[in-house]
Structure 1
Amino acid sequence: DTTIGPPGIIKQPVGQSVDPGQTVTFRITAVGAAPLTYQWLKDGTPLAAATAASLTLTNVQGPNSGNYQVVVSNPLGSVTSAVAVLTVNVPTNTTVDSFNPQVIGSVNSLALQADGKIVVGGSFTALEGSGRDSLGRLNLDGSLDPTFNPAVGGTFPSGVSALAVQTDGKILIGGSFALGGQTRYNIGRLNTDGSLDNVFSPTVAGGNSPIVHSLVTQTDDKILVAGVFTALNAQARTNIGRLNADGQVDTGFNVAVNGPIDSLTLQEDGKILIGGSFTTLGGQTRKYIARLNADVSLDVAFNPGASDANNFPPPIPGVHALALQADKEISGDSMPTERWTPRSIQESMMPLTSQTLLLCLYKPMAKS
């Protein structure tokens, strides 16, 4: 009879090796006369509030590594379990990258080229010690690319607020400027050498301060454009629209939204994630975040909503940045973020296949 006598352990805890941020649970199965009590130990020291038959550690980090045991007791005696070793695989390479370019002003957007060079956009007057008017390019090691110096004009501090690199290497730019001595209203395109693409000349206009916050290229070379505006290339579009590769408006893309859009992200399945300071999109209530299907219809199954809490500074409620990750859990580290595991994404929204969604509820400098 296993319900009498001193305690015994018939199933020992099992050691584990995990990556930082994961959840670990140690379990045992004990028998003996009731009542059985439990006290878990780490490296021989009792753990506070660890008095159940299982021990769960969340968001484990390097200091959680160690030897775990549990002491099971009843009025007739006690027994100590075998040691279960927890190994947290903390990366050993903690060398600080030497990449440290200098800028006078602010950086609003970055774009990575296929050759590893980095296009930098913002409101600045110098990059790596050389004069650059809101746009420049860095080599992989952070040194300035002296061959890339487009003539960007405009009223400081508007400058460049969004960047995207096309599959052909051409560079899309959003902001408020004139490029190459020719007027470009808030959007333009450069050739790979920094010269102006004269074929591409759409306009973004409307309101007191029209601006492009985000540019995304699709696999069919169409260009998603979002920000604050009422017209795209002289066609009525409120804060979001789509251009064909030649800069003409895609007449099949016309989505109604009642507030600014700060960020766009394209999923592998062609669906479009939208973040901003809106409360309705596509005629339906959507608080700060929404998703369009590839056919531009609203994804009615995707409606997580976002909280006004922890928006700081400035106090502008909304989802101001979106990113897709391939890992299994979202962590915002010290940033105020919404967190979902894949299971809760699946239950409260729609599964994003192998991808997960990061919602940063803060106002970043980079908007594209």
Structure 2
Amino acid sequence: MFAWFKYLLWLPLWLALSLVGCGGGEGGQESSDGRPTITTQPAAQTVNEGSSATFTVVAAGNATLSYQWTRGGVAIAGATSATYATPATGAADEGATFAVIVTNSLGSVTSQAASLHVTLMPRGTVAGEVRTTDGAVLQGATVTAGAVSATTNSAGRYTMSVPVGERVLVSFSATGHAGTQRPAAVTASSSTTVNAQLIPVGASQAVNVAAGGVVTVPSSTAQVTFPANALVREDGAASAASVTVAVTPIDPSLDVNRMPGDYTTMVGSTATPIESFGAISVDIRDAGGARYNLASGRSATIRIPLSTRTPSSSTPTSIPLFYYNESTGRWVQEGTATLRGTAPNQYYEGTVTHFSVWNADQVIETVYLNGCVRNAANQPVANALVATDGINYSGTSTATSAADGTFRVAVKRNSQLTVTALANNLLTNTLSATSGSSDSTLPSCLVLSETAASLNIRLTWGELPSDVDSHIYLPSGSHIYYGSTGSLLSPTFANLDVDDTTGYGPEVVTVSKLMVGTYRYFLRNYSGTFNPGMTASPVRVELNLNGAQRVFVPGSGEGTSNYYWHAFDLMVAADCSVTITPVNTWSASQPAQPTQPSTLTYCSAP
């Protein structure tokens, strides 16, 4: 009896100890069988529209833990760590819920769902058009800014409402073309024009992931070499056996605007200008459209064709490599490249550990160019976007005019460049400038067009022929060219702003007030050389009119005796509506003047 009674006394204590030993994972304790437990649940987040929200979980378990985040119960591709950062948030993300499944070899547990609240920001309008580099309209191109997206219509145009910001990144993509991105200042008070020209993909080739391979762009030194087993899916999922690699060389010497971003890199906390000697875009996807990149610890070799307006005597033999960061819109230095090959087929070769757009760049030594923007009534123009374009280097920089119309923009020291400005979709004339070793001031102000009934024609070409000339006939019978440059402030209200005789251009014609009648624009191969001629140079004419942009390039028929290319005619009606007629004809002699109206008048927009 005594032994049995002692056993009864010890029973409650034994049961209590047993229960403690079998306890679950509540309060930060691991489960006794090693299955995962969550010690800190994901917390609800509130962020401003356009920002990213970050969710975090803390878990414990005896075996290695893995994570899979879900949104509304659906797994998020690539979200497989203890922390998940959303893409830029938009109105559609308001109220979304996020949870995470934590798993090890012994079991799994699902966290509580955390909600996301998005505070909407004031909005502004971004509009523009998307074309190819040869001027063709791109219908169906995708335009995105944060969480907002739009698709271009049959005219290549788009409009979308986006959160305001001093530096809104607008991205453009279209099938068969390399994507690009433009930063823009977006305000609630006005519409911001952001146009883009997309470069057709240079080469698209299947590559076996296990074997690796080489992708070369025809008629170019652009090339990418992949080692075996170097590519993985960016979202971490299992890789396909084969991927398609799209490689596109980017030539900034033809047009600096072909490059993504705005030619800036961060030096400490300061945005600093760079100049380019050529770039290459590499996009890798499988048949399902999933993006691929180099695996951790692997590398590939790239060749970037030498493309620059810089004289060959100043071309560096070794140069830093920069990649474009789509999240910040800045170029980031990483690695170096060496100049190889023989002119005119030289290229920069280097090694990279990931892919986006790679650029052979260098930070430039800058001085400040001071100037002012005024309207036709000589009043200051505030908040004008001032942009420079290098003549003897491939780079650009921007600034914004102050309340008194003045501006200060950083440019390459001891260089030649052009300066222009845009305000409320109205263009100024273009000034040519030469910077020195110290700060300087433009001799005259940039003059803003009186109305949207104005135009700007910009001619660029390659190194040869060295001299290609812009010519434009006016309805009055006047002929604007290097021998008669005109005036923007008095009849004819047309001017050859910039004349170039040493290759590349630009040559710029501005018309600040449109006459009723026909304008005829044509080019002359003043050098008289045809190796290459204007077609193969290649010549490119950009027409900016009413916030829209058209591009013209020569067609066949140049031969070795046709010195003149008639690009287009503009017919201006009394209400300032304009009909553009591409002509694209070659001749050995100067085109004829268009028929002049009986009475000369300037158009008036309703």
TM, length-normalised to structure 1 = 0.32
Q: Which has the higher contact order (CA 8 A, sep 6+)?
A: 1
Structure with the greater alpha carbon radius of gyration? 2
TM, length-normalised to structure 2 = 0.20
Greater strand percent: which structure?
2
